[in-house]
Amino acid sequence: MSKNKVKIGLIGFGTIGTGVVKLIQGNARGLKARLNADLVLARIADLDLKRKREVKVNPQILTTRVEDILADPEIDIVVELMGGVEPARRFVLEAIRRGKSVVTANKALLATAGDEIFRAAEKNGVSVGFEASVGGGIPVIRALREAYAGDKIRSLLGIINGTSNYILSKMTDEGSRFEHVLKRAQEKGYAEADPTLDVEGIDAAHKLAILITLAFGVRIKLNQIYTEGITRISPLDVEFAREFGYRIKLLAIAKDQGPKGIEARVHPTLIRADSLLADVKDVFNAIYVVGEALGPNLLYGRGAGMMPTATAVLSDLISIARQKLSGVNTGIPGRSLPDTQIKDVRVRDIKEILMGYYLRFSVVDRPGVLSRITGVLGRHNISIASFLQRGRMAGAKVPIFLLTHEALEKNLRAAVAVIDRMDVVRDPTCFIRIEKNLE
Amino acid sequence: MSKNKVKIGLIGFGTIGTGVVKLIQGNARGLKARLNADLVLARIADLDLKRKREVKVNPQILTTRVEDILADPEIDIVVELMGGVEPARRFVLEAIRRGKSVVTANKALLATAGDEIFRAAEKNGVSVGFEASVGGGIPVIRALREAYAGDKIRSLLGIINGTSNYILSKMTDEGSRFEHVLKRAQEKGYAEADPTLDVEGIDAAHKLAILITLAFGVRIKLNQIYTEGITRISPLDVEFAREFGYRIKLLAIAKDQGPKGIEARVHPTLIRADSLLADVKDVFNAIYVVGEALGPNLLYGRGAGMMPTATAVLSDLISIARQKLSGVNTGIPGRSLPDTQIKDVRVRDIKEILMGYYLRFSVVDRPGVLSRITGVLGRHNISIASFLQRGRMAGAKVPIFLLTHEALEKNLRAAVAVIDRMDVVRDPTCFIRIEKNLE
């Protein structure tokens, strides 16, 4: 490789790809100053070369064949921005096999095939950068990999899906229904036509899997993460959470519980209205990390979008280019630990976790109902912290709202199953977990 | 150097030094897993070896002579935690000259002798880590150096002095006077016996100088940073800032204004009560960075203290140890740019900057006073955004509170000078700048 340039091949010329090209073109001088070499965009592969894009590139570097990038011995770093697991996985592995480093924003790929990719990278002495895979331009990967490396991470709580956070923020600010806000989010381009990955918590689970490996040095499979989305949250829940002094957020939560194992879960969560995460609104993301020595750290910013995500790709490109230029392989391709040091995880069953709960019952307004419900809760070792009822109408269906003290999830579920079979209960009970360990 | 260990010499066995020793001892296994080598604390130098400390070390590694560290060819990295400019500067330069990398938490040293140190490091092919110099365990140095490296930073606003933030937080929560809270902070160990560096904004200016070089690639001298402390903030100001929907924070502010130059200033600032920085309380720190492509990022955490700061030292130790073990010199010892690429700064005179202002006048309560004051402001091109007066008492001294729209600081100062000469004005007018560019 020539020592005065680093050549890049880009796979996927969509939104983020366009942002990356913009940054490389716009900051060429700054990049050269940092690297004392040129970052050259040598080749771009995309199936659709006709589409109008916000940047101009030399048409000769465009190709529809990824092979033109993979087979080019002059290309040092492959940037994979096509998304999805296949054929991205195949292209990334092939690039690595041919001695190229890889930068990717593909959380689905890393969450499902990360082990295979990092192992291949280690074997071939190349780097894999993935700062753009979680939290857009928020430097959370770098922080976990390097900044907190001398500490033991205790817990990590993140708002890492912008679409869900946008929907919950609007439901909170406007009292709107989920379906209504989702439709608006789709019109604005904040949500996909098929929003399942976002609103069912799957995208957040992909990202949490990546963060867990970095934070705790363990490998985790997607199906080990308890995942629940926001589709069943009603405006009533948002309103009464607020009355109790809380906000509802889709949180990705990971905690190291020592010998008991790791907690790994994504679900709607009540957090105190005066906590910093409660102020993370719209499409913004934030990751709250607590280290044994560090205490709490919060990293906040835009979690998606063309330009913020492109800055994360660039930061990886610069770091890897520096390594290439100095002729180094640091031996750790992208994670904080070599593959042999990453342990198998023991994940705690959510049923064994102690949490507080928000409960919404839908009951017939009749004397004695509350006492029957609290009786069932009591028999399941669940005690009440607060209670609210609004709008009385004898004989009609009314909601009752409760907050519980900490209880075992299996007890909570058992109690709810009993309550939902009562004659005075009209609709299935809604319960939302509460997270207290936040400043 | 042996490839299975990296030897460290520690200069200064005080609070942070003790934290570093704790982390190295407590996380030895995790560190070895990350490095595939041992991080060995080979030598500790301190003038006071008798003092009782929270950690036990082998007495044979203790010395009162720094020379024992500097002259030891086996020591790879020197950790300087003694503080102050001299003799720390001499020790650091000598370590570099002898081919050792350096990790330091010393902001005063870097703000005053940074250029000399980084130039020497470049010349000698060694690294200088200084994550611990700003924001304790908050990874702001790493973020500016690496994560945002592909972007252009537009502005940076930080709460980077924990002592001042503690005092202002308590004044806000309790309505207490500055002197009263300072005394309590001293008792709690949050403020030094001589608090000048903290409460006069000098410590924040040291840190801002370091951040400015990283963010904008320019060299700046301490006397180019406009610096004003919090000693003149009264409980009245805190209270009426709140009435207007603001909080008062000591902010370190840097903005790239293109050809006009860089804004670089530390002063008490009104920020909107609903901005994230307003929620940064007590001894916590936060840095709000806005990048052209990135948009806003906020990094938050404990800005000081034994263990959080020690994690930052460790993160540098790990990064530099990895370089040493792979036999690399990345060519850039610690800043994001080689010395030759760092430009001289053009700093904007504060008198030429447009800002909104909070003003507190102390006047005799008499008809026509407000009109005379607003008349002077109007003649200086300063227009009023809001106005408050509480407690009327004809002929007595009363405060008047105003918020202005954006005005040139030189006009504001000229107007205040005229107003302070009026017969109806009793005490010098207090003015505090307003920062609006925050989410």
- Name every chain B residue with its beta carbon within 8 A of the beta carbon of A36: 331, 338
Strands A354-364 and A407-408: antiparallel
Q: Do A296 and B301 touch (CB under 8 A)?
A: yes
A204-237 residues labelled b (16+ CB within 10 A) or e (exposed) = bbbbbbbbbbbbbbbbbeeebbbbbbbbebebeb
**Minimal Cα distance from A36: which residue of B?**
B338
**In chain A, ranges of CATH 3.40.50.720 domains:** 5-136+306-338
Beta strands B295-302 and B284-291 are antiparallel
Note if the pTM is more than 0.90. yes
- Name which of B131, B295, B311 is nearest A151 (Cβ-Cβ): B311
Test B326 with A322 for CB contact under 8 angstroms. no
- Substitution target in B31, B315, B438 with the highest count of A β-carbons within 10 Å is B315
User: Is B371 buried (19+), middle (13-18) or exposed (0-12) by CB count in 10 A?
Assistant: exposed
Interval B222-269: pLDDT, tens: 999 999 999 999 999 999 999 999 999 999 999 999 999 999 999 999
- Indicate which residues of A carry an active-site annotation: 207
Under an 8 A CB cutoff, do B293 and A137 touch?
A: yes
ipTM for the predicted complex: 0.94
Cβ–Cβ of B300/A297 closer than 8 Å? yes
CATH of domain A5-136+306-338: 3.40.50.720
Other CB atoms within 10 A of residue A393 CB: 9
Q: Quick one: which of A393, A200, A183, A158 has its CA closest to A299?
A: A158
Helix (H) or strand (E) holding B188: helix B178-188
Closest alpha carbon within chain B to A30: B150
Residue B15 DSSP SS3: helix
Cα B431 from Cα B434, distance rounded (Å) = 10
Tens-place pLDDT, residues B267-292? 999 999 999 999 999 999 999 999 99
CATH superfamily assigned to domain B350-434: ACT domain (3.30.70.260)
Q: A364 is written with which tokens?
A: 């017939």
Mutation target to probe the B interface, by most B beta carbons within 10 A, among A148, A297, A335 is A297
Does A318 reach chain B within 8 Å, measured CB to CB? Answer: yes
CATH architecture of A352-434: 2-Layer Sandwich (3.30)
In chain B, which residues fall in CATH 3.30.70.260?
350-434
What does the DSSP 8-state code read for residue B339?
Answer: G
Q: Which residues of A touch B139 (CB under 8 A)?
A: 139, 142-143, 146-148, 297
Strands B284-291 and B343-344: unpaired
Residues from chain B contacting residue A274 (CB–CB below 8 Å): 279
Show the DSSP H helices in A59-139 as ranges: 67-70, 88-97, 107-124
Q: What is the DSSP string of A225-256?
A: SEE--STT--HHHHHHHHHTTEEEEEEEEEEE
Token pair of A185 as six digits: 């989010």
Name residues whose C-beta falls within 8 Å of residue A138's C-beta, 6 or more positions apart in sequence.
A285, A286, A287, A299, A300, A301, A302, A303, A312, B297
Residues recorded for chain A: 439
The answer to whether residue A339 neighbours chain B at the CB level (below 8 Å) is no
Query: For B113-171, how does the pLDDT look when each residue is reduced to its tens digit (9 = 90+)?
Result: 999 999 999 999 899 999 999 999 999 999 999 899 999 999 999 999 999 999 999 99
Distance CA B250, CA B181 (A): 15
* Beta-bridge mates of residue A241: none
Residue in the structure block whose two tokens are 């001589």: B194
Per DSSP, the residues of A386-405 read EEEE----TTSEEEEEEEE-
Alpha-carbon span A141 to A135, nearest angstrom: 9
How much of chain B exceeds pLDDT 90, in percent?
Answer: 84
Residue ranges in A268-305 assigned as alpha helix (H): none
* Contact between chains at A142 and B146 (C-beta distance less than 8 A): yes
Pairwise CA distance, residues A237 & A27, whole Å: 47
- CB-based contact (8 Å) between B150 and chain A? yes
Lowest mean pLDDT of A235-244, A275-284, A337-346, B64-73, name the range: A337-346
- Reply yes or no on whether B50 is catalytic: no
- Is B10 in contact with B23 (CB distance < 8 Å)? no
Chain centroid, CA A8 distance in Å: 27
**Could you tell me if A29 lies within 8 Å of chain B, comparing CB atoms?**
no
Residue in B with minimal Cα distance to A39: B150
Classify domain B140-302 at the CATH superfamily level.
Dihydrodipicolinate Reductase; domain 2 (3.30.360.10)
Nearest C-alpha in B relative to A330: B326
Residue B299 and residue A300: Cβ atoms within 8 Å? yes
Give the single-character DSSP code of B277.
G
Is the Cβ–Cβ distance between A236 and A360 less than 8 Å? Answer: yes
Instruction: Give the position of tokens 């900490």.
Output: A406
Taking domain B5-136+306-344, whether its CATH number is 3.40.50.720 is answered by yes
Name residues 202-261 of chain B within 8 A of A (Cβ).
217
- Measuring CA to CA, which residue among B7, B38, B6, B41 is closest to residue B310? B41
**CATH 3.30.360.10, chain A: domain bounds:** 140-302
| Separation in Å, CA of A110 to nearest CA in chain B | 20
Report d(CA B439, CA A181) in Å as an integer: 22
Tokens for A146? 């390097």
CA distance A198 to A164: 6
Nearby residues of A183 by Cβ (< 8 Å), 6 or more positions away: none
Catalytic residue chosen out of the listed positions B207, B249, B255, B324: B207
Closest residue of A to B343, CA-based?
A33
Residue A327 has pLDDT above 90, yes or no: no
Contacts of B131 in chain A (CB under 8 A): 147
Residue B73 CB: number of other CB atoms within 10 A?
Answer: 10
B255 against B35, higher pLDDT? B255
Alpha carbons B418 and B401: distance in angstroms, whole number:
17
- Sheet of A38-45: strands edge to edge? A62-63, A38-45, A5-11, A77-80, A101-104, A128-129
Question: What pLDDT is stored for residue A334 in this prediction?
Answer: 72
Closest CA to A362 of A310, A312, A419: A419
Distances B72 to A306, A350, B13, B96, B185 between C-alpha atoms, Å: 51, 54, 18, 13, 41
Residue carrying structure tokens 């363990």: A218
CA distance B109 to B102: 13
Q: Does B30 touch chain A (CB under 8 A)?
A: yes
Cβ A413 vs Cβ A378: under 8 Å: no
Q: State how far the Cα of A100 lies from the Cα of A113, in Å rounded to an integer.
A: 18
Nearest to B310 among A138, A293, A341 (CB): A293
Give the mean model confidence (pLDDT) for residues A68-92: 97
Q: Are strands A425-434 and B77-80 parallel, antiparallel or unpaired?
A: unpaired
Lowest-confidence segment of A28-37, A78-87, A110-119, A290-299 by average pLDDT: A28-37
* Mean pLDDT over the full length of chain B: 93
d(CA A289, CA A295): 8
pLDDT digits (tens, 9 = 90+) for A84-134: 999 999 999 999 999 999 999 999 999 999 999 999 999 998 999 999 999
Q: Give A28: exposed, middle or buried? Use CB within 10 Å, 0-12, 13-18, 19+.
A: middle
Condensed to tens digits (0 to 9), the pLDDT of residues B82-101 reads 999 999 999 999 999 999 99
d(C-alpha B181, C-alpha B391), whole Å = 26
Q: In 3-state terms, what secondary structure has residue B18?
A: helix
Mark yes or no for CB contact A293/B150 under 8 Å.
Answer: no
Per-residue model confidence as pLDDT tens digits over A414-430: 999 999 999 999 999 99
Closest CA–CA distance from residue A329 to any residue of chain B (Å)? 7
Q: Does B428 touch chain A (CB under 8 A)?
A: no
Confidence of residue B389 (pLDDT cuts 50, 70, 90): confident
B3 to chain A: which residues are within 8 Å by CB?
none
Closest CA in chain B for residue A307: B293
A119-123: Cβ within 8 A, 24+ apart: A119/A339, A120/A93, A120/A96, A121/A96, A121/A333, A121/A334, A122/A331, A122/A332, A122/A333, A122/A338, A122/A339
Joined together, the tokens standing for residue B243 give: 């009435």
Decide the pairing of beta strands A101-104 and A77-80. Answer: parallel
Cα distance from B300 to chain A (closest Cα, Å)?
A: 5
- Rounded to the nearest angstrom, the minimum Cα separation between A405 and chain B is 27
Exposure on the CB side of residue A240, measured as CA atoms within 13 A: 23
Please give the interface size between A and B, counted as residue pairs whose CB atoms are below 8 Å apart.
214
* Cβ-nearest to B308 among A295, A326, A336: A295
Residues A197-253: tens digit of each pLDDT: 999 999 999 999 999 999 999 999 999 999 999 999 999 999 999 999 999 999 999
**Which of B83, B224, B255 is closest to B158 using CA atoms?**
B255
List chain A residues with CB under 8 Å of B19: 293
Among B residues 46-105, those touching chain A with beta carbons less than 8 Å apart:
none
Which of B137, B146, B341 faces A294 most closely, judged by CB atoms?
B137
User: Is there a contact between B139 and A138 if contact means CB atoms under 8 Å apart?
Assistant: no
Nearest CA in chain A to B138: A297
- Contact check, Cβ <8 Å, B151/A314: yes
Please name the amino acid found at residue B228.
E
Flag if A311 and B299 touch (Cβ within 8 Å).
no
Nearest CA in chain B to A293: B307
Is the predicted pLDDT of residue B328 greater than 70, yes or no? no
